[in-house]
Structure 1
């Protein structure tokens, strides 16, 4: 396991212990699968990579339960437009997390997580509330072409 991922896992184990929740080996391994991925993964892709990497099977229903836990603990995000999952880009940061904004490349599938400043989120929320609509999620998913793909054109 790369040193950076080891460091993240150790920090997360301490944070989970302080929060009174367990980062079990299966939860840790699912998180490692996501941390090692360059692109978002579906639950089925996670199960396949888990099996290949850890030589043990993990039913897809278990993957979904684990992902629910990891999302609740703010370690993983679900991309609503694709139904795929990605580890939080700020997973090891000590600062307050901003509302996530995901820049999704339609060519290569890469995703960049960018935090939105609170005043921007507040303005969007106020505008939405003015219509009588209630937000269920405060993340934005924006599709386009990344810098790497634009340079290859």
Structure 2
């Protein structure tokens, strides 16, 4: 039996995601909802193939990787998930049910198990980093900051 808190959290995620998609002129179809729930149910980043496997495991239906990629692209455009460039994997936004805007996404990514933590970083530090990058003659290719790390569990292996 599902924990009532989890059920309430799931309902809040779907309600917010549906409203956000509608506001942006999109629609959160049943398959899109299920893919989103696959990602919100894990703390690890997942590849499109891993999402397809999880979708089949949880819902008993197969979905082609190409369909999963299209859905992931849609969810990313809606600001509901993030694509992690370092790992070429996806994770749900930790601020998925928040109504206010957020700073640039910052991710700590375990290079061993792909557990991901979205963290807030002082805007002054980001500004300093931008300046250092500019001083070196570069510009950010992405506003998203990803840091390759080892999580607490993996560092002791």
Aligned residue runs from structure 1 range 1-153, under 5 A: 2-148=7-153
Question: Which string of whole-angstrom CA distances, capped at 9 and with x for unpartnered residues, describes residues 56-88 of structure 1?
Answer: 221111111111111111111111111111001
The TM-score, its normalising length taken from structure 2, stands at: 0.85
Q: RMSD of the alignment, in Å?
A: 2.0
Question: What is the CA-CA distance between 1:106 and the residue it aligns to?
Answer: 3.8
Question: What is the CA-CA distance between 1:121 and the residue it aligns to?
Answer: 2.2
1:85 is paired with a residue of what secondary structure? strand
Structure 1 residue runs without a partner (length 5+):
none
Question: What is the CA-CA distance between 1:123 and the residue it aligns to?
Answer: 2.4
In structure 1, C-alpha distance between the alignment counterparts of 2:152 and 2:54, rounded to whole Å: 28
In structure 2, C-alpha distance between the alignment counterparts of 1:107 and 1:66, rounded to whole Å: 26
Between stretches 48-57 and 75-84, larger displacement belongs to 48-57
Whether the 8 Å contact between 2:52 and 2:65 is mirrored in structure 1 is yes
In structure 2, C-alpha distance between the alignment counterparts of 1:109 and 1:44, rounded to whole Å: 15
1:126 is paired with a residue of what secondary structure? helix
Question: What is the CA-CA distance between 1:45 and the residue it aligns to?
Answer: 0.7
Question: Which string of whole-angstrom CA distances, capped at 9 and with x for unpartnered residues, describes residues 25-53 of structure 1?
Answer: 11111101101123111100111111222
